[in-house]
């Protein structure tokens, strides 16, 4: 038996619509079957609350006297984008304060705005005949603005990957702090509460769908950027009136050494029009699968370790190659649940009606990588032959090599050409001064290395991070196959 939007809305208006959350729906369908569910349940609510970097807000300040046409402007010292008319701007959540980055950014400005705190506006202009003011420095609150529109090009990922780190150092990523040697795992997404996972073919979600956004009412503008329906990584483009929203559901965030972002609360209602939708909204955490991805390899195609269900992710511990690894979410399941419940209350109270989308989201668009006109260069393209010495040779021989080969770095190997360490010309100078004779007294054994197939930029970042000027190139068996120094990178 099929229902229409009108029938559901009439019930909402009369206050007798039956609304449950996507989590409750799992149990309901399990107990009563999809047929009964389709008849009895009118709306299923979803929710998610996670860091969403592709977020920001359009603000309009009204005109000053004399008028100004911004060339640059800052909100609490965060540079806002200005490329529109005189007093419009877009504040993006990942833009950080120039003076103390990694502490405060655009997401925090938006949180402060909706908390109705005073925001400092500084701006300058090259001045025109119609906009003569050159500089402005003033304070405002959200109530002083004409429009404050949250406008997020990519939110509410259908699902997301689980990140781990196989490398030997701690990584600070947009997936949070990842401990070395698979020390922990982070994932994101609300699993069975995730909006798009409950309508995976986008039958009810599309342009104009009315939703919960940041504690107020928002709308789906269409597919989000990087929308990838075939990979089951659908996304949403969202907008809403910032003036209605609350700072409980829009929270600035900072990922150390990565940057700033904002947690956004999104809830989408799904009308149960038929049995098929009843079944789809009953999707459980064990049925939603994603991949464990190794962020230790800094490439676009990072190694995929294995498939995993959200049920296993939520259990707090996952198995990676036989090792038990602690796992937690970056997004708040507590708030996701709260959002689904709040939206449920709105609908039950008759305050919130459902509407069919003007157009549903595409189900066949393709997500492409960036076209790079310059060919990517690898270590193997720029490496040179390493100057090596065996670990048991005398310091004098090493010193001679440094002079003869005109190099600063000597790689020390075993007789089988396996890497043992590195000695620099400075180490030799020190050895002479301190009257040392054996390599083992001066060798640096903990060496940062690279491999043939590492992109040059990744090798360069390693050198910068560790403040070193050369990396031995090794193969999988730890054999030395070359060296790359900062000179080659120039």
Partner 1 sequence: MTIINATVPLGLIKNIDDYSRIINEILKHNVSFNILKFSTTPEGINLLLDVPEEKIKTITESLTKNNILVNKKGRVVIDEDICIDCGACISLCPTDALNFKDDLSVNFSEEKCIGCLLCIDSCPRFAIQESR
181-189, 196-204, 286-294, 455-463 -> range binding partner 1 (CB under 8 A):
181-189
For partner 1, give the closer residue by CB, 116 or 396.
Answer: 116
155 alpha carbon, distance to own chain's centre: 11
Judging by beta carbons within 10 Å of its beta carbon (0-12, 13-18, 19+), is residue 174 exposed, middle or buried? middle
76-84, 218-226, 334-342, 385-393 -> range binding partner 1 (CB under 8 A):
334-342
Nearest approach in angstroms of CB 186 to partner 1 is: 6
Nearest approach in angstroms of CB 332 to partner 1 is: 5
225-233, 246-254, 417-425, 474-482 -> range binding partner 1 (CB under 8 A):
246-254
Q: Write the binding mask 188 to 217 for partner 1: x where contact by CB under 8 A, - elsewhere.
A: ------------------------------
Phi, psi of 401 (to 5 degrees): -60, -45
Is residue 21 near partner 1 by the rule CB under 8 A?
no
Residues 101-140 that bind partner 1 (CB under 8 A): 103
For partner 1, give the closer residue by CB, 156 or 473.
Answer: 156
User: Which residue in the list 53, 130, 327, 393 is annotated as catalytic?
Assistant: 130
The closest alpha carbon to 194, from 262, 272, 285, belongs to 285
Count residues contacting partner 1 (CB under 8 A)?
A: 30
Nearest approach in angstroms of CB 253 to partner 1 is: 4
Is residue 333 near partner 1 by the rule CB under 8 A?
yes
Contact 470, 396 (CB under 8 A): no
| Sign of the alpha-carbon torsion through 181, 255, 285, 236 | negative
88-96, 121-129, 247-255, 446-454 -> range binding partner 1 (CB under 8 A):
247-255
For partner 1, give the closer residue by CB, 259 or 271.
Answer: 259
Nearest approach in angstroms of CB 50 to partner 1 is: 8
Is residue 263 near partner 1 by the rule CB under 8 A?
yes
Phi, psi of 311 (to 5 degrees): -60, -45
For partner 1, give the closer residue by CB, 153 or 252.
Answer: 252
For partner 1, give the closer residue by CB, 106 or 229.
Answer: 106
Q: Write the binding mask 31 to 60 for partner 1: x where contact by CB under 8 A, - elsewhere.
A: ------------------xxx---------
Bin 321: left if φ > 0, else alpha if -120 < ψ < 50, else beta.
left
Is residue 285 near partner 1 by the rule CB under 8 A?
no
Residues 147-176 that bind partner 1 (CB under 8 A): 172, 176
User: Given candidates 331, 388, 424, 485, which one binds partner 1 under the rule CB under 8 A?
Assistant: 331
Give catalytic status of residue 89 as yes or no.
Answer: no
Nearest approach in angstroms of CB 308 to partner 1 is: 14
DSSP symbols for 230-285: TTTB--EEEEEEGGG--TTSEEEEEETTTEEEEEEEEE-EEE--SHHHHHHTT--T
Q: Give the number of other CB atoms < 10 A from CB of residue 333.
A: 19
396 alpha carbon, distance to own chain's centre: 52
Q: What angle do CA 320, 51, 316 make, to 5 degrees?
A: 30
Give the bridge partners for 292, in sequence order.
162, 306
Query: Distance between CA atoms of 345 and 37, rounded to whole angstroms?
Result: 19
Nearest approach in angstroms of CB 337 to partner 1 is: 7
User: Given candidates 205, 264, 330, 439, which one binds partner 1 under the rule CB under 8 A?
Assistant: 330
Is residue 251 near partner 1 by the rule CB under 8 A?
yes
Is residue 179 near partner 1 by the rule CB under 8 A?
yes
For partner 1, give the closer residue by CB, 11 or 186.
Answer: 186
Contact 131, 125 (CB under 8 A): yes
The closest alpha carbon to 18, from 46, 48, 38, belongs to 38
The enclosing H or E element of 24 equals helix 22-40
Contact 234, 158 (CB under 8 A): yes
Is residue 329 near partner 1 by the rule CB under 8 A?
yes
Phi, psi of 36 (to 5 degrees): -65, -40
Contact 40, 32 (CB under 8 A): yes
User: Given candidates 159, 335, 409, 420, which one binds partner 1 under the rule CB under 8 A?
Assistant: 335
For partner 1, give the closer residue by CB, 81 or 102.
Answer: 102
11-19, 63-71, 322-330, 403-411 -> range binding partner 1 (CB under 8 A):
322-330
Nearest approach in angstroms of CB 129 to partner 1 is: 47
Q: What is the dihedral of CA 397, 399, 404, 405, to 10 degrees?
A: 100
The Cα-based distances of 356 to 6, 52, 168, 206, 342 in angstroms read 10, 26, 51, 8, 21
For partner 1, give the closer residue by CB, 326 or 445.
Answer: 326
For partner 1, give the closer residue by CB, 328 or 425.
Answer: 328
Q: Is the backbone peptide bond immediately before 66 cis, with ω within 30 degrees of 0? A: yes
For partner 1, give the closer residue by CB, 162 or 456.
Answer: 162
Is residue 326 near partner 1 by the rule CB under 8 A?
yes
369-375: long-range contacts at Cβ-Cβ below 8 A with a sequence spacing of 24 or more?
369/300
The closest alpha carbon to 211, from 315, 343, 56, belongs to 343
Phi, psi of 323 (to 5 degrees): -100, 135
Residues taking part in catalysis: 130
The footprint of partner 1 (CB under 8 A) covers 49-51, 103, 172, 176-177, 179, 184-186, 251, 253-256, 261, 263, 316, 326-335, 337
């Amino acid at each position: 038996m099929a229902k229409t939007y009108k029938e559901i809305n009439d019930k909402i208006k009369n206050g007798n619509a039956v609304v449950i959350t996507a989590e409750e729906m799992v149990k309901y369908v399990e107990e009563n079957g999809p047929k009964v569910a389709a008849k009895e349940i009118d709306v299923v609510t979803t929710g998610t609350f996670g860091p969403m970097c592709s977020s920001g807000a359009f603000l309009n300040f009204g005109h000053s006297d004399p008028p100004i046409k911004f060339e640059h402007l800052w909100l609490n010292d965060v540079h806002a984008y200005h490329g529109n008319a005189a007093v419009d701007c877009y504040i993006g959540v990942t833009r950080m304060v120039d003076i103390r980055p990694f502490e405060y950014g655009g997401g925090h400005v938006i949180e402060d705005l909706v908390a109705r705190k005073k925001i400092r506006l500084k701006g300058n202009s090259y001045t025109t005949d119609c906009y003569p003011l050159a500089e402005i420095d003033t304070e405002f609150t959200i109530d002083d603005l004409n429009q404050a529109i949250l406008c997020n090009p990519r939110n509410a990922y259908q699902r997301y990957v689980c990140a781990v780190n196989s490398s030997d150092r701690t990584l600070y990523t947009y997936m949070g702090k990842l401990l070395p040697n698979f020390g922990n795992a982070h994932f994101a997404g609300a699993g069975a509460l995730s909006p798009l996972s409950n309508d995976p073919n986008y039958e009810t979600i599309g342009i104009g769908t009315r939703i919960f956004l940041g504690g107020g009412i928002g709308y789906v503008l269409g597919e989000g950027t990087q929308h990838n329906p075939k990979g089951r990584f659908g996304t949403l483009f969202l907008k809403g009136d910032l003036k209605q929203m609350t700072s409980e559901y829009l929270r600035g965030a900072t990922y150390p050494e990565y940057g700033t972002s904002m947690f956004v609360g999104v809830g989408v209602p799904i009308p149960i029009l038929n049995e098929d939708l009843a079944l789809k909204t009953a999707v459980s955490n064990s049925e939603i699968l994603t991949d464990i991805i190794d962020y230790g390899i800094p490439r676009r195609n990072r190694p995929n370790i294995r498939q995993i269900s959200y049920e296993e992710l939520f259990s707090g511990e996952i198995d990676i190659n036989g090792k038990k690894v602690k796992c937690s979410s970056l997004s708040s399941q507590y708030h996701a649940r709260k959002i689904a419940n709040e939206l449920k209350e709105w609908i039950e109270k008759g305050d919130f009606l459902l509407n069919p989308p003007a157009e549903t989201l595409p189900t066949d668009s393709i997500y492409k990588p960036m076209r790079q006109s310059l060919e990517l260069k690898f270590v193997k393209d720029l490496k040179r032959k390493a100057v090596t010495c065996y670990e048991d040779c005398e310091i004098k021989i090493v010193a001679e090599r440094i002079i003869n080969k005109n190099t600063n770095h000597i790689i020390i190997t075993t007789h089988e050409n396996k890497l043992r360490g590195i000695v620099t010309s400075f180490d030799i100078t020190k050895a002479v001064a301190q009257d040392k004779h054996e390599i083992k007294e001066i060798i640096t054994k903990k060496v940062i290395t690279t491999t043939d197939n590492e992109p040059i930029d990744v090798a360069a970042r390693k050198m910068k991070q560790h403040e070193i000027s050369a990396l031995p190139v090794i193969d999988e068996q730890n054999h030395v196959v070359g060296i790359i120094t900062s000179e080659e990178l120039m």
